[in-house]
Amino acid sequence: MRLVLLGPPGSGKGTQATRLKTELSVPHISTGDMLRAAVAAGTPTGLKAKAVMDAGKLVSDDILLAMLEERLSQDDVKNGFILDGYPRNLAQADAMDHLLAKIGQPLDAVVKLEVPNEAIIARCEIRFAAEHRKDDDPVVVRDRLKVYAEQTAPVADFFARRGKLQVVDGVGELDEVTARVKRALAAESAAANG
């Protein structure tokens, strides 16, 4: 299964990917986690990304695509992957499409988690209080939601035109949301095989 999870920051993409990776027997690839690891390690890419992330902005497409291509060349993704946090704009979606075609790993499905902004801000406030991640600061989250609406929301249409998009309500108990995602993946699989 090659899956992309879309949704605004704080919508639960990472949580759902973590829950699905064992069941699907594929790795969860989070660009946010890859970037935070690079920042923590103090790599040149990480240092460049840190200033951008601390300001609540998005890291450049070139850096993310290079990181993704390197990650997708590893052995553990031969049976698929769950991408979380990428693509974030139409240029990334197009570049990813070309990359996946080049490596012979076309997407099976794209699931978009829909969560109202007020619920996202409340979730991030709780996470910020517990983990103190700068990108969960309510002021930063509001800016990130604005950027999402302008740049990332159109990516859903990109995948809908390719017949890959399933939209799932991301509000509710974790088990309920996971069950909705699984139903969406089953529907996508049935449509692809039907």
**CA dist., res. 43 & res. 109, Å (int):** 33
CATH number of 2-193: 3.40.50.300
Q: Mark the ranges of the chain whose per-residue pLDDT is less than 70.
A: 194
What are the domain boundaries of the chain? 2-193
Write down how long the chain is: 194
- pLDDT for the residue numbered 44: 79
Q: Omega before 87 cis (within 30°)?
A: yes
pTM: 0.85
Residues annotated in a binding site: 10-15, 31, 36, 57-59, 85-88, 92, 127, 133, 144, 172
Q: In Å, how far from its chain's centre is CA 73?
A: 19
Give the end-to-end CA distance of the chain in Å, rounded to a whole number.
Answer: 17
- pLDDT for the residue numbered 156: 94
Residues annotated in a binding site for ATP: 10-15, 127, 172
Helix (H) or strand (E) holding 190: helix 174-193
DSSP character for 60? P
- pLDDT for the residue numbered 65: 87
- pLDDT for the residue numbered 97: 94
Q: In Å, how far from its chain's centre is CA 167?
A: 14
Strands 165-169 and 81-84: unpaired
Residues annotated in a binding site for AMP: 31, 36, 57-59, 85-88, 92, 133, 144
- pLDDT for the residue numbered 119: 94
**CA dist., res. 137 & res. 124, Å (int):** 7
Q: What angle do CA 65, 70, 73 make, to 5 degrees?
A: 125
